Each structure stands twice: as structure tokens, then as C-alpha cells.
Structure 1
Amino acid sequence: MEEFQGKIGKDWRTSVPWWPPQPKPKVGTPNVVLIVLDDVGFAQLGCYGSNIATPRIDALADKGVRLANFHTTSLCSPTRACLLTGRNHHRSGMGRVADLAIGFPG
């Protein structure tokens, strides 16, 4: 992880946000599609035995990988950080909702 290159002043007027450059995949890296459904549980998905019709999700699940032993957090962004990194969301630096990103650490 790169070191923060912005400036943290006494308040927002004297602070300068910074975001690290976007990573670029290596040539030949395979494309992977990861689908995360927020605010649903196993009871809402036909592929896990629900009586609710979810044919598109079921079709995707039939040809993909289904995870059934995954710890979620109380917020969507930290849960996604756990899934993508395989680590606790705080260890990944994601303790809040990502749409609040302001260019400062933490």
C-alpha cells in the first residue's frame, strides 16, 4: 500500500485529499465476474433451496462458484472488502461505506 501523499491540516480548509493511482492488470489477466447481492440471505435465492423464483441467479450459480461459509459485516462496502481481500474489513482499511471516500486515510 502506498504512503498517503496528501496533507492533513487542522481542518478541511487546510487539508489536501489524495487517492493512490488505479491499479492496472497485467497483460493476459483473466476477467472475473463477482456478483454480490446486498440485503438478501439464503432464504431469498432459489439456488440455495428457496421457493422464491430466481431463475437468472440460479442459472449463474449453476455454472459458477457458490459461497456458503462467509462472514458478512453490517455494511455493504466492508463486506465487499472482506470478500475481495479474504481479510477482516478493518485489516483492509475499510471500516465504513465507500461512497464516503474523501481521499484521506482510515
Structure 2
Amino acid sequence: MSQTPNRNGLGLTASESRPYWPEPAKAPPGAPNVVCIVFDDLGFADLGCYGSEIATPNIDALAAGGLRYTNFHTTALCSPTRAALLTGRNHHSVGMGGLADWDLGFPGMRGRIARSAGTLAEMLRPAGYNTFATGKWHLTPTFETSQAGPFDQWPLQRGFDRYYGFLEGE
């Protein structure tokens, strides 16, 4: 009994099968670039477009063009804020209720982003986007940042193609 190969080229036997190499995903033409910036220890009042005396000309230029975000809910700590920004979810619901170095033994306080909580990079990569992170990561517990790993909470395992920066909260 002969069978037509399926979409991956597999038939019932080797003679009925054909090699298959899927095309890599590519972002569609005209897809926007996505840039996320996290400023540690900074509030809205520290940006020139909101009245600060600090010069922030590039942020001010974006704001002058109509780009003002005013509804992001930050936390008082960097790790939970990063976790919320990267996942689009409440920091407790993804396991980062405190700093990455604090595993308090409760679901919302594990000190790492749960594997069930995909990051923005993990969503964009399969859609054909290239992903890059730079700077302070601070989403990996300190005792997991050596060459011995484990590496599952490092940027390259959380969807980023490339990373240049430091893993801890330095």
C-alpha cells in the first residue's frame, strides 16, 4: 500500500519518503523592530519629557513624536521589574516576587522566571525575529551564574540569540 508523503516528507517507507528541510522563520515584510529599555533606579520624573532637569534628548525626541508610556507597573526591585517586562505578566505570577537571589520556597518567590512563563524573546524568535539583550540581566540566581551553570535562566536559554552584559545585579 503506497502513501503520499506528509508535509514533512515522511511516507510509510523510505522509498515513499523525501528529504525535508523547513524554511527558517522570517519576520514578515514591514514587521516592526521591537526595542525594550529598562532603566534601573529611574522614575518618570527623571526623564526630561516629564519635567526633569536631567538631559534625556533621545527619550524626549521619542516623546515629542507621541511615544509616551505611562501605564507600566514597576516594582521596587530590578529583578521583578525585568520579569514583568519580559513576560508581560505580574512578577509574582512568574515566580519573581523578589530579587533573583531570593528563593523563599513559595511559588511567587522562587527567584527565577518559571519555564511556563515565556519571555518576549521566546515569543519573537519563532516568528523570525532576531533577539539581542545587553546589560544587566539579574534574572538568574547568583549561585547559577558560574561556568558550571545550570544555564536554563541565562539569556540564551530564555529566547535571546545573543547577549552581552553581566548576569548578576552589579
Q: How far has the Cα of 1:83 moved from its partner?
A: 1.9
78-87 or 28-37, which deviates more: 28-37
Cα deviations by residue, 1:7-43 (Å, 9 ceiling, x for unpaired): xxxxxxxxxxxxxxxxxx9421643111121111122
2:49 to 47, 50, 53: 47
C-alpha distance in 2 between matches for 1:50 and 1:100: 35
The answer to which structure has the higher strand fraction is: 2
Aligned pair 1:27/2:15, yes or no? no
C-alpha distance in 2 between matches for 1:64 and 1:38: 23
Cα deviations by residue, 1:21-71 (Å, 9 ceiling, x for unpaired): xxxx94216431111211111221111222332212212334474221222
93-102 or 49-58, which deviates more: 93-102
1:66 to 43, 65, 68: 68
- Runs of 4+ deviating beyond 6 Å: none
Q: Pick the structure with greater CA Rg.
A: 2
Q: Cα 1:77–1:26, aligned 2, differ >3 Å: closer, same or farther?
A: farther
TM-score by length of 2: 0.39
Aligned pair 1:84/2:97, yes or no? no
2:79 aligned partner, one-letter code:
S
The aligned length equals: 81
2:62 aligned partner, one-letter code:
L
Please report the RMSD computed on the Cα atoms of aligned residues, expressed in angstroms: 2.8
Aligned to 2:127: none
Cα deviations by residue, 1:68-100 (Å, 9 ceiling, x for unpaired): 122211211210211222211121122323142
Which fold has the larger relative contact order, with Cα–Cα distance below 8 Å and residues 6 or more apart in sequence?
A: 1
C-alpha distance in 2 between matches for 1:92 and 1:64: 32
C-alpha distance in 1 between matches for 2:61 and 2:44: 16
Aligned to 2:39: 37
Aligned to 2:133: none
